[in-house]
Structure 1
Amino acid sequence: MNRRQMIGLALPLIAAPSLVLSQDAQTDPYQPTEVAIREGFEVGSIVVVSDEFFLYHVKAPNRAIRYGVAVGQAELVWKGKARIGRKVEWPSWTPTQAMIERSPEQYAQYANGMPGGPENPLGARALYLYDQRGNDTAIRIHGTTQPGSIGRAVSNGCIRMRNEAVMALFEEVPIGTPVYVY
């Protein structure tokens, strides 16, 4: 056990941003990595810690696969509890009216939508988040055509993953999976 791991285990872990108990040093912290996490998270659930740019898929008690993500810009960060209500391979995309109003030069051309494919901003897969009443939140966990955005607050509210990471997660999680975004 190295010094970092010992310090990580010694700290009291009471807040969601302190989800990880220990981790191995890596060159790229945003690559999928199995990590030890604190107690209390439902096996199978997804936990996103926005200000740390990580998504955790809880695989077993106190164990998760950690993925790097990009999240919404400060004023666009979505937080809350949801469930995966829909899963789509190579999803189509239509910007929201709010996105078009904020940046018409960037989004107005796609007001009628964009078919799925390698150039689509939602990337290879999308997990659609629905609230507790079954309403679409308009928030997605999805791939990206901009892998360099991982680890930054750049999106319009959605949670972006590298395409290979979202493809792996897509295969692992069923419809109904609980998602907690902090």
Structure 2
Amino acid sequence: MILSSRRQFLGFAAAAPLAAVAGCTQTAPPEGGTTPRPTITGAMPFGPEPRFPPFSEMYGQKNDDGFTIPAIPYERVPERYLRQVVRDTTGEKPGTVVVETRNHYLYLTLGNGNAIRYGVGLGREGFEWSGRAEVGRKARWPRWFPPAEMIDREPDLEKYRASYNASTGIWEGGMEPGIMNPLGARALYVYQDGKDTLYRLHGNPVWSSIGQSVSSGCVRLMNQDAIDLHSRVPEGTPIVVR
């Protein structure tokens, strides 16, 4: 199944490539730390079922790579969107990231009948997508390169427009990593058939957007949850969005 915008997905038997549809960033070399890609054969070993600390600790202030992540007022977030272990009802193999758009949930299947569930924010109307892909790359505190189409819609983003310097082989521009960067503390880059789709699973500073459909197609998590998910999945992890 090719990833597509929902309108194309429902309207056409052969959808256009995802990168031509939408996305929350443009293609650019990674900035920040990355992890080497392992060779994956069969189910991925995810170890024992995690035992999470109290919500006050999970969502408390954190210092990470020189950045201070503010505490989240978790009491104001519906409990169903807070990180927790639940029964796995996805039907997917262990070590799969499953995004259920209807409920605004992201699951990481554990292989023991359970899954870790996170609350997520999703794409607004016209920017939804579904299908199968994989984590093609990971980054810590990534730089954000908004796509030209987004800049055209939101002229205030013009200062973040990126350009490629052929003499240095470096992309210039974009938004520096930081607590207000829309990609947050961590990003998982969604690839299909070895190509960057421009969609991301990423952290975000706006905790109130969790459970909402407000993004330009990417799947956003609270920064504390993005850090947790990033630490658990290697590159090559399958992704299912439905």
TM-score normalised by the chain length of structure 2: 0.62
Partner SS state of residue 64, structure 1 = strand
Determine if contact 2:200/2:218 at 8 Å carries over to the other structure.
Answer: yes
Is it true that 1:110 corresponds to 2:160 in the alignment? yes
By how many angstroms is 1:119 displaced?
Answer: 1.9
The structure in which a higher percent of residues are helix is: 1
Query: How has the CA–CA distance of structure 1 residues 119 and 62 changed in structure 2, closer, same or farther, with 3 Å as cutoff?
Result: same
Matches of 2:78 and 2:204, distance apart in 1: 21
* Pairing of 1:62-141 with structure 2 (within 5 A): 62-105=113-156, 107-112=157-162, 113-131=174-192, 133-141=193-201
Matches of 1:171 and 1:143, distance apart in 2: 13
Determine if contact 2:190/2:197 at 8 Å carries over to the other structure.
Answer: yes
Large movers: runs of 4+ above 3 Å: none
Amino acid at match of 1:110: Y
Matches of 2:127 and 2:109, distance apart in 1: 26
By how many angstroms is 1:170 displaced?
Answer: 0.5
Alignment size in residue pairs: 155
- Unaligned stretches of 5+ residues in structure 1: 1-25
Amino acid at match of 2:83: P
Amino acid at match of 2:237: T
Matches of 2:219 and 2:201, distance apart in 1: 5
By how many angstroms is 1:27 displaced?
Answer: 5.3
Is it true that 1:53 corresponds to 2:104 in the alignment? yes
Determine if contact 1:39/1:61 at 8 Å carries over to the other structure.
Answer: no
- Unaligned stretches of 5+ residues in structure 2: 1-76, 163-173
